[in-house]
Amino acid sequence: MLMAFSSCLLLVLLQIFSALFLSLAQDQSGFISLDCGSPRGTSFRERTTNLTYISDANFINTGVSRNIKPAYQTQFQQQTWNLRSFPQGIRNCYTINLTIGDEYLIRANFLHGGYDNTPSTQFELHLGPNLWTKVSTTNESVALAFEMIHLLTTDRLQICLVKTGNSTPFISALEFRKLINTTYLTQEGSLQTFIRADVGATVTQGYRFGIDVFDRIWTPFNFVNWSQITTNQTVNVNNDYQPPGRAMVTASVPTDPEAAMNLSITGVERTMRFYVFMHFAEIQELSSNETREFNIMYNDKHLYGPFRPFNLSTSSIFTPAEVVADANGQYKFSLQRTGNSTLPPLLNALEIYSVILFPQQGTDRKEVDAMLNLKSGYSVNKVEWEGDPCVPRDYRWSGVNCSDIENEQPKIISLNLSGSSLTGEILEFISDLTNLEVLDLSNNSLTGSVPEFLAEMSTLKLINLSGNELNGSIPTPLLDRVRRGSISLSIDGNTGLCSSGSCATTKKKKKNTVVVPVVASLVSVFLIGAGIVTFLILKRKKRSKLPLNPNSGTGTTPLHTRSQNGYESPVIAKNRKLTYSDVVKITNNFERILGRGGFGVVYYGVLDNEPVAVKMLTESTALGYKQFKAEVELLLRVHHKDLTCLVGYCEEGDKMSLIYEYMANGDLKEHLSGKRGPSILTWEGRLRIAAESAQGLEYLHNGCKPQIVHRDIKTTNILLNEKFQAKLADFGLSRSFPLGTETHVSTVVAGTPGYLDPEYYRTNWLTEKSDVFSFGVVLLELITNQPVIDMKRERSHIGEWVGLMLSRGDINSIVDPKLQGDYDPNTIWKVVETAMTCLNPSSSRRPTMNQVVMDLKECLNMEMARNMGSRMTDSTNDSSIELSMNFTTELSPGAR
User: At 654, which CATH number?
Assistant: 3.30.200.20
- CATH value at residue 87: 2.60.120.260
Q: Residue 335: CA atoms inside 13 Å, Cβ hemisphere, count?
A: 29
The span from the CA of 495 to the CA of 465, in Å, is 12
Selection from 620, 630, 635, 453 nearest residue 553 by Cα: 630
pLDDT at residue 35, as a whole number? 97
Looking at the chain, the whole-number percentage of residues with pLDDT higher than 90 is: 56
Torsions phi, psi of 459, nearest 5?
A: -85, -15
Does the structure show a pLDDT above 60 at 71? Answer: yes
Return the beta strands (E) in 200-330 as ranges.
Answer: 219-221, 226-230, 250-254, 261-265, 274-280, 294-298, 301-307, 315-318
- Do 406 and 471 fall into the same domain? yes
The counts of H helices and E strands in the chain are: 17, 50
Helix axes 825-838, 849-868, angle to 10 degrees: 170
Within a domain: residue 889? no
- CATH value at residue 833: 1.10.510.10
Could you tell me how far CA 432 lies from the centroid of its own chain?
Answer: 22
Could you tell me how far CA 93 lies from the centroid of its own chain?
Answer: 18
Find which of 264-268, 683-687, 839-843 is predicted with most confidence, using mean pLDDT: 683-687
Selection from 772, 749, 775, 752 nearest residue 760 by Cα: 749
- Do 172 and 41 fall into the same domain? yes
Alpha helices in 649-698 (DSSP H): 668-673, 683-698
Does the structure show a pLDDT above 50 at 888? Answer: no
Question: Residues 385-427: pLDDT tens digits?
Answer: 999 999 999 999 999 999 987 778 999 999 999 999 999 999 9
pLDDT-based confidence at residue 261 (cuts at 50, 70, 90): very high
Question: Is 314 in contact with 279 (CB distance < 8 Å)?
Answer: yes
Question: Is 314 in contact with 235 (CB distance < 8 Å)?
Answer: yes
pLDDT at residue 733, as a whole number? 55
The span from the CA of 584 to the CA of 582, in Å, is 5
Selection from 798, 800, 772, 623 nearest residue 709 by Cα: 772
Q: Which of 53-62, 379-388, 531-540 bottoms out in mean pLDDT, i.e. has the lowest? A: 531-540
Choose one of 125, 158, 182: the last residue of a domain. 182
Selection from 807, 658, 637 nearest residue 730 by Cα: 658
pLDDT at residue 826, as a whole number? 84
The span from the CA of 714 to the CA of 707, in Å, is 20
Within a domain: residue 125? yes
Helix (H) or strand (E) holding 882, with range, is: strand 881-883
- CATH value at residue 457: 3.80.10.10
Question: Residues 282-302: pLDDT tens digits?
Answer: 999 999 999 999 999 999 999
Within a domain: residue 293? yes
Domain hosting 709: range is 669-738+742-847
The span from the CA of 16 to the CA of 36, in Å, is 37
The span from the CA of 165 to the CA of 118, in Å, is 13
- Do 202 and 164 fall into the same domain? no
Residues placed in the known binding site for ATP: 615
Count how many domains the chain has: 5
pLDDT at residue 633, as a whole number? 66
- Do 694 and 656 fall into the same domain? no
Helix (H) or strand (E) holding 8, with range, is: helix 5-8
pLDDT-based confidence at residue 197 (cuts at 50, 70, 90): very high
How large is the average pLDDT for residues 660-670? 89
The span from the CA of 448 to the CA of 622, in Å, is 41
Burial of 258 by CB count in 10 Å (0-12 exposed, 13-18 middle, 19+ buried)? Answer: exposed
Neighbours of 533 (CB within 10 A): 22
Does the structure show a pLDDT above 60 at 463? Answer: yes
Selection from 689, 842, 699, 713 nearest residue 776 by Cα: 713
pLDDT at residue 320, as a whole number? 83
Residues placed in the known binding site: 615
pLDDT at residue 600, as a whole number? 74
The catalytic residue positions are 712
**Largest alpha-carbon pair distance within the chain?**
109
Question: Residues 705-736: pLDDT tens digits?
Answer: 777 888 889 999 999 988 889 999 876 555 55
Return the beta strands (E) in 152-218 as ranges.
Answer: 156-163, 170-171, 173-178, 190-199
Does the structure show a pLDDT above 90 at 686? Answer: yes
Beta 156-163 vs 91-97: how paired, if at all?
antiparallel
Within a domain: residue 615? yes
Question: Is 471 in contact with 540 (CB distance < 8 Å)?
Answer: no
pLDDT-based confidence at residue 749 (cuts at 50, 70, 90): low
- Do 213 and 340 fall into the same domain? yes
- Here the contacts of 457-461 (C-beta below 8 Å, separation 24 or greater) are 457/430, 457/431, 457/433, 459/413, 459/434, 459/435, 460/436, 460/487, 461/437, 461/486, 461/487, 461/488
Burial of 9 by CB count in 10 Å (0-12 exposed, 13-18 middle, 19+ buried)? Answer: buried
Return the beta strands (E) in 319-368 as ranges.
Answer: 331-337, 349-356
- Do 345 and 390 fall into the same domain? no
pLDDT at residue 125, as a whole number? 98
Question: Residues 781-800: pLDDT tens digits?
Answer: 999 999 999 988 888 899 99
pLDDT-based confidence at residue 12 (cuts at 50, 70, 90): very low
Within a domain: residue 707? yes
- Do 587 and 526 fall into the same domain? no
- Do 62 and 133 fall into the same domain? yes
Torsions phi, psi of 53, nearest 5?
A: -110, 145
The span from the CA of 638 to the CA of 696, in Å, is 10
Within a domain: residue 154? yes
The three-state DSSP-derived secondary structure of 408-469 is: CCCCEEEEECCCCCCEECCCHHHHHCCCCCEEECCCCEECCCCCCHHHHCCCCCEEECCCCC
Choose one of 518, 544, 570: the last residue of a domain. 544
Within a domain: residue 860? no
Does the structure show a pLDDT above 70 at 552? Answer: no
Question: Residues 297-314: pLDDT tens digits?
Answer: 999 999 898 999 999 999
- Do 690 and 825 fall into the same domain? yes
pLDDT at residue 636, as a whole number? 65
Does the structure show a pLDDT above 50 at 759? Answer: yes
Beta 496-498 vs 471-473: how paired, if at all?
parallel
- Do 230 and 342 fall into the same domain? yes
Question: Is 317 in contact with 234 (CB distance < 8 Å)?
Answer: no
Helix (H) or strand (E) holding 857, with range, is: helix 849-868
- CATH value at residue 321: 2.60.120
The span from the CA of 273 to the CA of 321, in Å, is 10
pLDDT at residue 8, as a whole number? 34
Q: Which of 490-494, 566-570, 611-615 bottoms out in mean pLDDT, i.e. has the lowest? A: 566-570
Within a domain: residue 299? yes
The span from the CA of 248 to the CA of 281, in Å, is 7
Instruction: Give the SS3 label for residue 488.
Output: strand
Mean pLDDT score of the chain: 82
- Do 138 and 212 fall into the same domain? no
Question: Is 413 in contact with 402 (CB distance < 8 Å)?
Answer: yes
The span from the CA of 750 to the CA of 764, in Å, is 9
Q: Which comes out higher in pLDDT, residue 268 or 743?
A: 268
Strand partners, 250: 230
- Do 429 and 310 fall into the same domain? no
